Amino acid sequence: MYNQIASNKRKSVALVLIFILFVVGLGYVYGAVTRSGYVGMGFALVLSLGMALVSYFAGDKIALATAGARPIEKKDNAELVRLIENLSITQGFPTPKIFIIPDAAINAFATGRDPVHASVAVTTGALEKLDRQELEGVLAHELSHVKNFDIRLMTLVIVLVGIVSLVAGMMRNMFYLGGRRDNRDRDQLGGILMVVGLVMSILAPLFATLIQLAVSRRREYLADASGALLTRYPEGLARALEKIGREGQPLRAANDATAHLYIASPWGRAAHLFSTHPPLEERIKRLREMIV
């Protein structure tokens, strides 16, 4: 299990480093093609950082409101609160705010930029259809996201995706409008660089999205392993994921912007190339191969 956790961490770091290098390369090509240096790149960076700050400081409130989550206290569901309190004590951080999502689908998510500002939301379907060990496995998975600072990491990735999308859009506009340079200037830039710039402007957003999804899927594997280590019972989470897969029920408030937060796809459909989550079958298989 420790090997699985270490492997997932290394792969996540590698993916983010590749992403950063890709953004730097895109900025270099943009500056060379437009002869604007890093002005355009700087504009994209400032705008993306602005969006990221909103997501960083208010993203949890937006996600909870989008899901229709309502806060609860111990008197509302003492068993749920005790489970989260015990897991939080074991993790060594404060008990997060607890929310209920009135939805029959089995799902849950955690949000918050750090353990002090964390929140956990669970659907009524999860509370009704999961036994205690299964629910504990789901909650341990979500609290592991908080402990591993996954929300902070995904905010960084979203910043990079925003930069790529903005720069690629500006590059496409430049090519469509024909630019302001004459043919002599175009010759000096070189045909190869122009072709590279055009191809990158078209493919960059797709490539950036794929890296974002790869990071998201890798963090799900990490949270599975960390959660299983927390409960010392991987079978609980494995059974919960099996129930989610068999039911396949989507959330009423499913949203692309918050899909990566949930323990399983809120769309209730199988994993695919553009899925924020790895296949449930693979996650279950890995959990059952773990030795605690």
Give me the phi and psi of 62, to 5 degrees please: -65, -45
Lowest mean pLDDT segment, chosen from 67-76, 131-140, 222-231, 256-265: 256-265
Whether the per-residue pLDDT at 188 is higher than 70: the answer is no
Q: What is the pLDDT of residues 62-115, one digit of tens each?
A: 889 999 999 999 999 999 999 999 999 999 999 999 999 999 999 999 998 888
Both tokens of residue 158? 């979203």
Concatenate the DSSP letters of all residues of 184-201 into one string. Answer: HHHHHH-HHHHHHHHHHH
Work out the number of other CB atoms within 10 angstroms of the CB of residue 175: 14
Q: How far apart are CA 138 and CA 140, in angstroms?
A: 5
Nearest to 141 by CA among 109, 117, 119: 109
Name the more confident of 172 and 229.
Answer: 229
Report pTM.
0.80
Nearest to 49 by CA among 189, 136, 162: 162
Q: What is the pLDDT of residue 182?
A: 47
Selecting among 142, 235, 247, 282, the annotated active-site residue is 142
Whether the per-residue pLDDT at 170 is higher than 60: the answer is yes
142 among known catalytic residues: yes
Q: What is the mean pLDDT of residues 224-236?
A: 94
Q: CB under 8 Å to 135, separation ≥6 — which residues? A: 80, 83, 122, 126, 127, 240
Q: What is the pLDDT of residue 189?
A: 47
Whether the per-residue pLDDT at 132 is higher than 90: the answer is yes
Q: What is the pLDDT of residues 13-50, one digit of tens each?
A: 777 777 777 777 777 776 766 666 566 566 666 766 67
Q: What is the pLDDT of residue 13?
A: 75
Lowest mean pLDDT segment, chosen from 50-54, 118-122, 184-188: 184-188
Q: CB under 8 Å to 50, separation ≥6 — which residues? A: none
